[in-house]
């Protein structure tokens, strides 16, 4: 909303709501990791969600989290550490009912150094943003952390989107969020995607305020890959926790998250 559309001296809707004792909603899109689902990611971050709401309540902020599920269903053999004997029990072509609730946003094609099914994943993200009525922030874990970087960068109005079909997914994201960038982006064990067709998302650097959690014992996403994403963000905030490949949900690690959201939830739009 432009300043011209609000009469001088008239409180913005969120200011009026806070004055009346209501809380301002902060809509955050939560993007799960590879081999997870929206429901599983929510279960794993439920304690964080509750603590975040409790911490932000005194300043009249109400975090509202949305958990979509990636469109690409994964076979047991797609899970890291899979042993073939487990899948063979279900036959060569197990039915959907027999498959675990594991999903992905895209699939890496090592032969071509590209991401398969990428546009399908982004279409789900655009639908989730639209259904939420627009979002203020985005948070992702692992593959979802990489997605967080993609989405935040693509929503920056100052960034030039690729012409033609290769940029359609980004234009759909912008339409879904009303042409607005997100105010903040949070990545847990996220990584830089060294894929040529996505390089435009990192150059120039991502200017959206970013918070990066890195596990010092993470053996799934190497620290150098996470650092690659950090290095492609302007003024990133980095928190290193003494754990592995997971989202730390204890108070010690949620407090930096709450402070970051507090600082940026009312940030100016581009």
Give per-residue pLDDT as tens, 134-188. Answer: 999 999 999 999 999 999 999 999 999 999 999 999 999 999 999 999 999 999 9
CA distance 115 to 236: 26
For the segment 6-32, the average pLDDT, to the nearest whole number, is: 65
User: Is the whole model's pTM more than 0.75, yes or no?
Assistant: yes
Is residue 13 in some structural domain? no
Residue 138 in any domain: the answer is: yes
Under a CB-based contact definition with an 8 Å cutoff, are residues 121 and 105 in contact?
yes
CATH value at residue 59:
3.40.50.1820
Mean pLDDT score, 191-216 = 97
What tokens appear for 19 in the block?
A: 């004055």
Domain that residue 181 falls in: 22-74+98-264
pLDDT grade, residue 15 (50/70/90)? Answer: very low
How many distinct structural domains can be found in the chain? 1
Residue-level pLDDT at 84: 60
Q: Is residue 5 part of a domain?
A: no
Q: Is residue 111 assigned to a domain?
A: yes
Structure-token match 């991502």, residue found: 206
> Per the domain annotation, does 58 fall within a domain?
yes
**Residues 6+ away with beta carbon under 8 Å from 223:** 214, 216
| DSSP state string for 109-166 | ETTTTEEETHHHHHHHHHHHHHHTTS-SEEEEETHHHHHHHHHHHHT-TTSPPPSGGG
In a domain, residue 14? The reply is no
Domain membership of residue 269 (yes or no) is: no
**92 found inside a domain:** no
> How confident is the model at residue 165, as a pLDDT?
95
Residue predicted with more confidence, 24 or 13: 24
């Amino acid at each position: 909303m432009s300043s011209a559309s609000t009469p001088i001296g008239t409180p913005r809707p969120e200011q009026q709501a806070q004055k009346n004792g209501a809380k301002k909603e902060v809509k955050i899109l939560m993007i799960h990791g590879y081999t997870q689902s929206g429901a599983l990611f929510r279960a794993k971050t439920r304690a964080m969600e509750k603590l975040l709401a409790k911490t932000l309540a005194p300043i009249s902020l109400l975090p509202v989290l949305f958990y979509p599920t990636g469109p690409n269903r994964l076979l047991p053999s797609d899970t890291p550490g899979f042993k073939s004997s487990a899948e063979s029990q279900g036959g060569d072509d197990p039915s959907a009912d027999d498959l675990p609730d594991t999903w992905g946003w895209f699939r890496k094609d090592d032969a071509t150094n590209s991401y398969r099914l990428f546009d399908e994943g982004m279409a789900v993200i655009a639908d989730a943003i639209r259904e939420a009525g627009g979002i203020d922030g985005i948070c992702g874990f692992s593959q979802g952390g990489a997605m967080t970087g993609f989405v935040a960068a693509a929503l920056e109005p100052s960034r030039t989107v690729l012409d033609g079909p290769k940029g359609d997914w980004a234009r759909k994201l912008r339409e879904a969020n009303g042409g607005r960038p997100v105010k903040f982006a949070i990545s847990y064990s996220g990584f830089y995607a060294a894929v040529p067709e996505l390089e435009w998302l990192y150059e120039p650097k991502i200017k959206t305020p970013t918070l990066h959690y890195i596990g010092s014992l993470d053996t799934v996403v190497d620290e150098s890959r996470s650092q690659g994403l950090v290095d492609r963000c302007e003024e990133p905030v980095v928190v290193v926790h003494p754990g592995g490949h997971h989202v730390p949900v204890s108070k010690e690690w949620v407090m930096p998250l709450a402070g970051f959201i507090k600082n940026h939830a009312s940030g100016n739009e581009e």
